[in-house]
Amino acid sequence: MRFHGEISEWRDDRGFGFITPTGGGTRVFVHISALQKGRRPRAGEMVTYEVGNSGDKGPRALNVNFVNALPGRRNESPRRSFFPVVVLVLLIAAGAYGARRFVPSDIFQAINIKQQSPRAQAFACEGKIYCSEMNSCEEALFYLDSCPGVQIDGDGDGVPCEKQWCNE
């Protein structure tokens, strides 16, 4: 026989609580294992249940169902939408495509030359600050890209030592 009641107390950290029958009477113990799967109760929720005996401890609720639950559906957390992630990935891809397509290719070639130059590996930051201390345009490019505190690009155009070494 099924009874109706209200979850009058629930201890989520311990996994049990009590149901107060709708018509009044003795509170009924309920364990998390007797509840519908995928759902945690809250105090005040209406349920239906069967009564079993737990020995000398009193009545125990079995096969507990939530009254407001929709059939075939569990009260689970909503699924997260991947739409914002997809939009972000598409925007990054479009930006990368646009940069490759519309930025002059000589800028990318200059960057690749700086990165691939075998002689650039021979340089190290040795405290040089001024163009007069450089020995080549390649060394000046290395210092501008790699070393802090250099003063070799007076006009800020990314080309160092234009008067001494890197006059294009």
pLDDT tens figures, 17-73: 999 999 888 889 999 888 877 678 888 899 999 988 766 778 899 988 888 754 544
Across 112-130, b (16+ Cβ under 10 Å) vs e yields: eeeeeeeebeebeeeebee
**Distance in angstroms (rounded) separating the CA atoms of residues 148 and 160:** 14
pTM confidence score: 0.41
The CATH architecture to which 2-66 belongs is Beta Barrel (2.40)
What's the mean pLDDT when you consider all of the chain?
80
The two three-digit tokens of residue 124, written as one number:
């190290």
Q: Find which of 54-58, 80-84, 94-98 is predicted with most confidence, using mean pLDDT.
A: 94-98
